[in-house]
Amino acid sequence: MPPRLSVIIPVYNRVSLLDHPLVSLREAQRQSPALDWELLVVDDGSTEDVPAALSRFEDLPVKYFRRKNFGLLATRLFGLQHARGEALFFLDADDAITPGKFIQQLSALFEHDADVVHGDMGRRAIDVKGRPTEPVRHDPPAKTTNAPAPFYLETQPAPHDP
């Protein structure tokens, strides 16, 4: 049986930033231990040691893929080809999530038979070593729409949060 959720993180160097998504995913897993999910980390030909950065997160359901550098879009599509989940979540290597995000979004996705679910965002500046330099700033709530084109063009341009 495939997992309920596949989380795909494309990586090209900047391994010091990987702590942000991985720590937040660990907390999400702790908050929702019954969630059936997989984490695909796709290394797009990094010159930095991505497996060493992942080694501290062996408690996460990580599947690591390394490939020749083809760029962000090709790396995301590679992850998509290898994802087995019913739902997909793309997360960048410098992103973090709140602990209840997956449960809320999966509930909205499956209970409402939606194609895409969007969550509002917050932002925080970090330095080159990935350390926060300011508190989180929450973006204004995104407007709701059921029309795909306005959603992708106005509410949440690809490739982020959907």
State the pTM of this model. 0.82
Q: What is the pLDDT of residues 9-46, one digit of tens each?
A: 999 998 988 988 899 899 999 988 888 999 999 999 99
Amino acid at 75: T
Q: What is the pLDDT of residues 36-71, one digit of tens each?
A: 999 999 999 999 999 999 999 999 999 999 999 999
Q: What is the pLDDT of residues 89-120, one digit of tens each?
A: 988 888 888 888 888 888 888 888 877 777 76
Mean confidence (pLDDT) of the chain: 84
